Amino acid sequence: MSRRLRTALAVPQRARGTIGSSTATDAAPGSGTMIGAVLAACAGPLAVLYRAYFATLRVSGLLADGTATRPREYPFGRELFALCERDALLLAGISSYTPFTALVTIGTDGDWAAALLNRLGFDTVRGSSLRGGSQAVSGLVRALRTSEKPAAIVVDGPLGPAGRAKEGTVVIGMRTHRPIRALGVASRREIVFRRTWSGISLPLPFSRVVIACDDPLPVPISAGPDEVAALTEELTRRLALMRRCALAAVGRSPAETTATSPVTGPGTANSAATAPVPDATAHGALPSDIMRTP
């Protein structure tokens, strides 16, 4: 690979519109690149189809104290919303409520995702934690310092482990002076792509969906490595807690994550969803029988 190409890949690029991170590896020349180019060219029609799909979902919000809310009425501000890749397909629809800024991976997957989600109204910073990670953080920090928009970050990508946050999210919060809110999503009916490392899922049309949103995780302006590591562990704990709260709100348990899909075929359950999760009452949330929203 030429020096010029390596440099181009390492430097985050600003674009308009996308969310989340995917994989940090480049696609091999051939079919993968061609498929990515075709998907990017079809971004407009795909965005129209996605909006139509998202409009069928019955989406409600759930705050950490058990209060049910309508996502459209949530007072979005200068916050960082932390999500797991498992929930990225559904949470791309949050652009229906307010414009967002997000970090998207470099590579073919990121190219077509950015093109698609560009049409959904997101501002995008391109970068990867595996290639030019510090530059990706710097690019997102620069974008957020001059923006009042909320930001969304897939915190367990690009390769997992599923549900475990990376320290970069805390660093971004410190440098932008933004609190971090953990999100967890659950739907009554969904397809789980179980051959993916994250167990990424897609609610079926007309399903009931709950987005659980935690209290802000305050981050200091500066912190040493030990404090950053401790805050990252706390974020991981909160992500798992919000997942459990969302599951309880739709009447499911963490063990109920083995949806069958003719697309993905047999596989293992979502490891992040079936892993032990702290008791919701330990964080001030209401018990699951009270938390269920109408």
pLDDT at position 137, please?
82
> pLDDT exceeding 90 applies to what percent of the chain?
48
Q: How far is CA 63 from CA 193, 217, 239, 293, in A?
A: 27, 14, 13, 11
pLDDT at position 118, please?
83
Report whether pLDDT(208) > 90. yes
Question: What is the tens place of the pLDDT at every residue in 237-290?
Answer: 999 999 999 999 999 987 765 433 333 333 333 444 434 444 443 444 333 332
Task: Let me know if residue 5 belongs to a domain.
Answer: no
- When divided into structural domains, the chain yields a total of 1
Task: Let me know if residue 246 belongs to a domain.
Answer: yes
Average of pLDDT values for 49-63? 96
Average of pLDDT values for 220-249? 96
Task: Let me know if residue 20 belongs to a domain.
Answer: yes
Q: How far is CA 169 from CA 28, 102, 151, 209, 282, in A?
A: 29, 12, 11, 26, 24
Task: Answer with the residue of higher pLDDT: 186 or 197.
Answer: 186
pLDDT at position 150, please?
94
Whole domain around residue 86: which residue ranges? 11-291
Average per-residue pLDDT for the chain: 77
> pLDDT exceeding 70 applies to what percent of the chain?
70
Task: Let me know if residue 3 belongs to a domain.
Answer: no
Task: Let me know if residue 149 belongs to a domain.
Answer: yes
Average of pLDDT values for 227-242? 97
Task: Answer with the residue of higher pLDDT: 107 or 178.
Answer: 178
Residues in the chain: 294
pTM (predicted TM-score): 0.75
Report whether pLDDT(86) > 70. yes
**Cβ atoms of residues 198 and 256 within 8 Å:** no
Task: Let me know if residue 269 belongs to a domain.
Answer: yes
Report whether pLDDT(195) > 70. yes
Average of pLDDT values for 161-189? 95
Tokens of 197: 């490392």
Which of 2-6, 33-37, 261-265, 283-287 shows the highest mean pLDDT?
A: 33-37
Tokens of 82: 């932390």
Task: Let me know if residue 266 belongs to a domain.
Answer: yes
Task: Answer with the residue of higher pLDDT: 117 or 271.
Answer: 117
**Cβ atoms of residues 17 and 117 within 8 Å:** yes
**Cβ atoms of residues 232 and 174 within 8 Å:** no
Task: Let me know if residue 2 belongs to a domain.
Answer: no
CA distance 29 to 17: 26
Q: What phi and psi, each to the nearest 5 degrees, are found at residue 186?
A: -150, 150
Average of pLDDT values for 164-172? 93
Report whether pLDDT(20) > 50. no
pLDDT at position 131, please?
55
